[in-house]
Structures are given as C-alpha cells and as structure tokens.
Amino acid sequence: MSDYDVIIVGGRPAGATLAARLGQAGLRVLLLERSKMPSVPGASSPIIYASTMRLLDEIGADESAYACNTPKIRRMVNASEGMQTELRIPSLDGRDYAYAIDRARFDHALWENALRHVEGRQGVSVTDVLWDNHRVIGVVLGDGTHITADLVIGADGRFSLIARKVGAAEYDINEQYPTSIYYAYWKGVKKSSEPTALAFGQDFGVGYLIMDSADDTTVIAVEGQTELLNPEPGKVSEFYEGLIRKYPFLAEVIANAERITDVRGMRRVGNMYRQPGGTGWALVGDAYHQKDPIDGQGIYDAVFSAKMLAGAVFDWKRGDTLWGEALAAYDAAVRRETFAMYGSTLERVRGSLYAKTPTWAITPMRWLVQDPLTMERFGMMLTRQIDADRVMTPTLMIGAFLRGPLRDLSRFLDRESKR
C-alpha cells in the first residue's frame, strides 16, 4: 500500500486546483509546497480573465476571497508606435472584466480551498523522487523522509525539480525571441478614471504594462528583449526604476508613488512543452507547458491543464484505461487548447518586441488594430472564446482595411465641420 494515491509537488494554481479536483473525487492526496503562504512567486505579474474564473468556479474557489479588494478591469489600452487602441473585455458567463490579481492572496486562497479536500504541507522541500526499478513510487523530503504514492505529479513550475529528476523530454522549444520581465507593486500611482490595463512602448524592443491591482496598488511591469534588459548583478531594482523614470509619462505617473515590493521577474523566459508524464509520474502547469506572459494566459493554461490531468487520473484509477493511454489523452487535450495560443503568443512577442513596422505599413496597421471588429475578436481570444488562429482571418483583415479609410474620412470631415 502506498501512503497516498497522489502526491502533488507544488501548491500554486496548477497544483492547488488539481488537488482540489482529485480530493473532491475521494482520492488520498498530499499537496506539498516549499514556501509558506501567503507568499509571492518570483516571476509572475498576472492578469486573469473570466475563462480562468469559470474553471475556479468548478472547484468551489471563492472569487470574493482570491480577488478580495481587487478592482475589476474592463478596459485595456495599448499605446505603441504612435497609435492607440482600446479594448473592452467581452463578457463570458456574465463576467466582462479581468483582475490584475495579488498573487500572494490568489495563491493562498486556492491553497486554502484545496485543503478542504486534501492534506497539505507548507514549508516542505522535495529533494528527490523514489524509484522502484523504472517506476516512480514517491518523493524524498529535505529532512530525508520518504513518502510513497501511486502517482507523483510535478506542479513545481518552470524549473521543475520533478521534471529534472525523471528526465522529462522537452518539445516545441522556441528560443528565437528571448525575453525577460521585471515588475513591482506601487502605492500612490496616478490612476486613470477607471481601472485599466495600459500597455505601451517607449524604445524598440521594450514594452511597459501598468495595471490597477489589489488594495489600491498598481503593478508596473517591463518586458523586453533579453539582451536589452540586462541589469548588473545585485542592481535589478536600480535598473528597473531607471527604465521607468526615464520615460516622461511613467515618471509623472509615479511622481508621488512608493514602490512597496521588491522587484521580481525572470530572465530569458522559457517557451516549450515537456513530456506529460511517465511510469508513476506526470507534470502539470508550467512544469509541463510554459510560454511568454505577454498575453496573460499562464494561469488559465495552468488550471486548464490541471483539469485535464485530473480527468486522466480518474480514468486510470477507475481502470477505464491504462496509464500510458490516459497520459496521451491528457497531452492531446491540452495541446488542442493551448497550441494555437502558443503560436500566437510567440508571434506577438516577435511583432511587439522584435519587429519594426515599416513606414509604409503604419497606416494599414493602424486600420487593422483600431478596427472594432478586430479588437472584439482579440478580446474573445484573450477570454478563450475563440481559438487564436481564428482571430486574423482573411475576411476580417480585408474588412478592416476597407473600414479604416472610411473612419479616417469621417474623422477628417468631423474636424472640418468644427472649424
């Protein structure tokens, strides 16, 4: 007899939501987290949409807890390359808003929700996996304790220990457009008239994001080409603040503000999939699939993959399928949901941070990105109501290029009539 049916290493969104699903079904689950919550992970400055909240509803996670005192963002603005676009977040299940969540509060709420169904231990490090011939049968804790399980799941993030210990293969790796990201939370930032996520560019290869967050704070993030965001060791904070303060608009926004957190982030963000599992083990969340955060889809992917893995575990535990078949079905289901978005994300990174728009293309590009139907489709993609490869269809693009000149003409005539 194993000590548990499942051991999950990592208690952040993927691990906590997976544990809740498995525990609700009656499995004996041990959820392990090396940090003591509430605590903030080092590399995430997140936004969540209604698509994520719908998955959290399924496990009984309380929106009023994980989004406590967090403003609802209904407006997203992008001001780059001399043009501005505005997006109103489309409704899904009655939610027409997003949250720039406080990850400490969010992760802790999901952890507490999981503990209604499973056993959890915080401040516990896993140092190795246990093997019986070629099968993983448990984990080794930092104090030398051995704990066994029928299945060990790595939900331990981008630099997953479990993935390294089992030698998980990596697939679809993309290192063509390396990026780094740094962010911090501020108090006293000059705010817009309504809660907003504002993205804009200053210099080629670097972008900025300002989002209203919990407890009247504001998150300010900088993402760019890795070779451009290259602070000296030990001087990340000075580098980050220097980038912000040299931009007149941002300098004005934070003139009376105070940075209230350390600068966090990640150098050279990874883009890949890993092998979904093997004999006695599986991966979920960022341990399994990771990509650039430019479109704010990381938490959705984590909790979606947790749902799909839970289904695979149920099928295997009931004896409906062999474990290898269950893993293959899990991998296929997640790829169907995420692969088009993965390609779209990489293209967004290239277009936003690595490509300069030729002078001749600026006007047609403005027609495209300011087109109401284009922005509506982009919003539906962000909320996972349509696949990423269905946004920029030929019909939509032709229509945008036809409507653009008419909008320009209308604005010109309006200005002339007011003279």
Residue 392, token pair as written in the block: 């920029």
pLDDT of 419 > 80? The answer is no
Is the separation of the CB atoms in 261 and 182 below 8 Å? Answer: no
In a shared domain, residues 251 and 185? yes
SS3 278: strand
> Is residue 27 included in any domain, yes or no?
yes
Sign of the Cα torsion 242, 246, 249, 252 reads positive
The CA-atom distances, in angstroms, between 276 and each of 21, 47, 138, 301, 355 are 18, 26, 17, 14, 33
Chain segment 71-108, per-residue pLDDT in tens: 999 999 988 766 788 899 999 999 999 999 999 999 99
More confident of the two residues 359 and 30:
30
Of 4-13, 76-85, 111-120, 236-245, the one with minimum mean pLDDT is 76-85
For residue 242, give the CATH number of its domain: 3.30.9.100
Q: Greater confidence, 384 or 202?
A: 384
Instruction: Grade residue 26 by pLDDT with cuts at 50, 70 and 90.
Output: very high
Total number of domains in the chain: 3
The whole-number pLDDT of residue 258 equals 95
Secondary structure class of 273 (helix, strand, coil)? strand
**What pLDDT, on a 0 to 100 scale, did the predictor assign at position 241?**
93
Instruction: Confirm whether 219 is domain-assigned.
Output: yes
- 59/133 same-domain check: yes
pLDDT of residue 257: 95
Q: Do 122 and 158 sit in the same domain of this protein?
A: yes
Share the mean pLDDT of the chain.
Answer: 93
148 Cβ contact partners less than 8 Å away, ≥ 6 residues apart: 2, 3, 4, 130, 137, 138
- Looking at residue 2, what is its pLDDT? 85
What CATH number is attached to the domain comprising 170? 3.50.50.60
At 208-256, the pLDDT tens digits run 999 999 999 999 999 999 999 999 989 999 999 999 988 888 889 999 9
Contact between residue 156 and residue 11 where contact means Cβ atoms under 8 Å apart: no
- Does 326 map to a domain? yes
Does 184 lie in the same domain as 41? no
125-158: pLDDT as tens digits:
999 999 999 999 999 999 999 999 999 999 999 9
- Closest by alpha carbon to 339, among 273, 248, 392, 246? 273
Does residue 92 form part of some domain? no
* The domain boundary residue, chosen from 232, 266, 300: 266
CA neighbours closer than 13 Å in the CB half-sphere of residue 165: 25
Instruction: Tell me, yes or no, whether 249 and 277 share the same domain.
Output: no
What is the pLDDT, as a whole number, of residue 81?
Answer: 66
What pLDDT shows up at residue 293?
92
Is there a single domain that holds both residue 170 and residue 220? no
Condensed to tens digits (0 to 9), the pLDDT of residues 283-339 reads 999 999 999 999 999 999 999 999 999 999 999 999 999 999 999 999 999 999 999
Q: Is residue 372 situated within a structural domain?
A: yes
Considering 314, 342, 370, which residue would you say is the last residue of a domain?
342
Parallel/antiparallel/unpaired status of strands 29-33 and 277-278:
unpaired
The domain in which residue 306 lies consists of: 4-71+101-174+271-342
Residues 111 and 155 in one domain: yes
- Cα-to-chain-centroid distance, residue 329: 23
- Give the per-residue pLDDT at 249: 85
For residues 310 and 210, give the distance between their C-alpha atoms in angstroms, rounded to a whole number.
35
Same domain, 50 and 123: yes
pLDDT of residue 129: 98
Q: What is the torsional sign of CA 43, 49, 51, 57?
A: positive
Residue where a domain terminates, one of 266, 281, 314 = 266
Contact 120, 108 (CB under 8 A): no
Question: Is there a domain that residue 130 lies in?
Answer: yes
- CA–CA gap between residue 95 and residue 75 (Å, rounded): 13
In terms of pLDDT, which residue wins out, 280 or 368?
280
191, pLDDT greater than 70: yes
**261 in the same domain as 185:** yes
Decide if pLDDT at 45 tops 70.
no
Indicate whether 261 and 319 sit together in one domain: no
* pLDDT score at 354: 94
Distances (CA, A) of 27 to 141, 322, 342, 389: 22, 18, 32, 38
Same domain, 26 and 154: yes
pLDDT number for residue 42: 65
Q: Is 32 helix (H, G, I), strand (E, B) or coil?
A: strand
Cα(78)–Cα(49) distance, rounded to whole angstroms? 18
What pLDDT digit, counting tens, does each position of 344-401 carry? 999 999 998 998 888 888 888 888 888 999 999 999 999 999 999 888 889 989 998 9
- The CA-to-CA distance between both ends of the chain, in Å, stands at 85
Assess whether 288 and 337 both reside in one domain.
yes
- Residue 90 in domain: no
**Residue 134 in domain:** yes
